[in-house]
Amino acid sequence: MTSASIDSAFDSRLVAQIAAGDAKAVGKLFDRYAGLAYNLALQMLNDGAKAEQVTFELFLRIWHEADQFDPSRQEIKTGLLQKAYVIAKAGLPPSAAVAEHWENLTDIELDEILLSQPAPAELLEGLKAKVMATIEPAGGGSAPAGTAQSKAPKSDYLSNERQAAKKPERGRSLWPILAFGFGIAASVLAVYSSFIARKLSGQLQESTIEFVALRQELKITQAKLGFALSPQTEVLTLTGQSSAPEARAKLVWDPADGQGILIASGLAPAPADKSYQLWVIAGGKPVAVKVFEVDSSGTAEVRIAHLPPSEHIFAFNVTLEPAGGVAEPTGEKLLSGSRQ
């Protein structure tokens, strides 16, 4: 599966690691989306302290409920912000106007609002430390109890040997010597067993993470297959224009619910200050759909959460725009396709 912008497989991988018990993955997900969640709560509640509490509770829920995320149904970022929205809304008096305002924003409009004023870095660092201190077990990584204490001191061993050399006794029992030897062997075996146990535990955790990630990818593949086989699904071919003659793309979407997938190839990786942007021509006007990136091979798989009603859709275009996308297309068309 190829990655596409921030809703890439990296987010699914982090969630799989969290579901497998990796606390550090919570910190990585926090770095990616805590600022957006905080700004969403701040603009809804207009209270910095409450916005911090919403963000804190959000990432505690992610720690405990990571296995409930299903990337085949929605992007990790979308699901995370929806949880933040629900937590923040619980702190408001009932207001249909507020709910409708936030629930009807497009992805680009939401990003423009949440990124317009970055959350204070110092505030986020303190909040992250609080989250990590809450979820990380105390004293993690310490050596198993009793390992060091179970070793017999070297001085005792030498003392015993000197005594045996100085005081040979006829008919002396060998059991104390054998018992001491067995004790040394047991201590060595305990240390070795502890080492093997830690090694196997690490391998088991890695295998669990791989399994969860593969299970999520299987869900995505099954969802795509069912989507592609739906009798309502439409398939549109986008061909490369003069600026990108090698580019090709297929757009598969369900006009009933407006969801779709764009699979593109032959596009050059965008410069650091540029992003590819998908547009739909609806009602004679271009409407921004999605900002995306391509991988090093020039391919991308872009999941589309919502399109305008199908009766208004005439065509789809892909352009190269300033990083983060724009409200109106400014770059020339690289890919284009019209409905028959």
Q: What is the pLDDT along the chain (340 residues), one digit of tens a residue?
A: 444 454 557 888 888 899 989 999 999 999 988 999 999 888 888 889 999 999 999 999 999 988 887 777 778 888 888 888 889 888 776 554 555 555 555 666 666 666 667 788 899 999 999 999 998 764 444 333 333 333 333 334 334 434 444 444 444 455 555 555 656 666 666 666 666 766 676 666 566 656 655 665 555 555 555 555 566 788 889 999 999 999 999 988 888 778 888 899 999 999 999 999 999 998 889 999 999 999 988 899 888 887 888 777 889 999 999 998 999 999 999 999 998 7
User: Are 209 and 99 within one domain?
Assistant: no
Report whether 325 contacts 288 (CB < 8 A). yes
Report whether 195 contacts 189 (CB < 8 A). no
Distances (CA, A) of 160 to 164, 166, 180, 263, 268: 6, 10, 10, 77, 76
Q: Which of 206, 229, 252 is the last residue of a domain?
A: 229
User: Are 149 and 111 within one domain?
Assistant: no
* CATH number for the domain that contains residue 307: 2.60.40
Length of the chain measured in residues: 340
Q: How far apart are CA 208 and CA 72, in angstroms?
A: 20
What's residue 166's pLDDT?
47
**Is this prediction's pTM over 0.75?**
no
User: Are 260 and 189 within one domain?
Assistant: no
User: Are 44 and 117 within one domain?
Assistant: yes
Burial class from Cβ neighbours inside 10 Å (0-12, 13-18, 19+) for residue 320 reads buried
User: Are 152 and 186 within one domain?
Assistant: yes
The range of the structural domain enclosing residue 324 comes to 234-338
Q: What confidence tens digit (pLDDT) does each residue in 255-277 have?
A: 877 888 889 999 999 999 999 99
User: Are 90 and 178 within one domain?
Assistant: no
What's residue 117's pLDDT?
73
What's residue 145's pLDDT?
37
* CATH number for the domain that contains residue 51: 1.10.1740.10
What's residue 271's pLDDT?
92
What's residue 315's pLDDT?
92
Domains contained in the chain, number: 3
Amino acid, res. 153: P
Residue for token pair 């987010």: 11
User: Are 187 and 304 within one domain?
Assistant: no
Ordered DSSP codes for 290-301 = EEE---TTS-EE
> Which residue in 45, 41, 44 sits closest to 33, CA to CA?
41
Q: Which of 135, 158, 177 is the last residue of a domain?
A: 135
User: Are 15 and 90 within one domain?
Assistant: yes
Q: Classify 149 as helix, strand or coil.
A: coil
User: Are 315 and 241 within one domain?
Assistant: yes
Q: Which of 82, 115, 135 is the last residue of a domain?
A: 135
Distances (CA, A) of 32 to 80, 100, 157, 190: 11, 26, 57, 42
Q: Give strand ranges (E) for the chain.
A: 234-240, 248-254, 259-265, 274-282, 285-292, 300-304, 313-322, 333-338
From the centroid of its chain, how far is CA 36?
15
> Which residue in 283, 237, 243, 287 sits closest to 264, CA to CA?
237
What's residue 103's pLDDT?
58
What's residue 199's pLDDT?
66
Torsion angle of alpha carbons 177, 179, 180, 182, nearest 10°? Answer: 120
> Which residue in 263, 286, 278 sits closest to 321, CA to CA?
278
User: Are 113 and 147 within one domain?
Assistant: no
